Amino acid sequence: MAEEKAFWEQNIALWEKWTSSYTDTMFKAMEKAMEQSTAFRDQIDKAANAAVSTQFQATLTAIQSLEKQVETLSAKVDKLLKEKK
């Protein structure tokens, strides 16, 4: 009977050790996944910021070019109107 009790106590001790080890492993795996997720999100944010910045610069350049064209056209229209008078 004492041997059977010792066997069950060993069994429970091994079970506790295994579950503790399993829990630690799963916790570490979750931590690693979260770190990778954060790193991945950071990379996506950097890429998105770079794309938006590039698009913004292209749009700004196009607007500045258009502004110069409108100024030139406006000057020509003013000149034509003065000549017509």
Instruction: Give me 21's structure tokens.
Output: 């080890």
What whole-number distance in Å separates Cα of residue 74 and Cα of residue 80? 10
pLDDT at residue 65, as a whole number: 96
CA angle, 21 as apex, 18 and 23 as ends, to 5°?
Answer: 105
Residues of the chain with pLDDT below 70 are none
**Percentage of the chain lying above the pLDDT 90 cut:** 72
| pTM for this predicted structure | 0.53
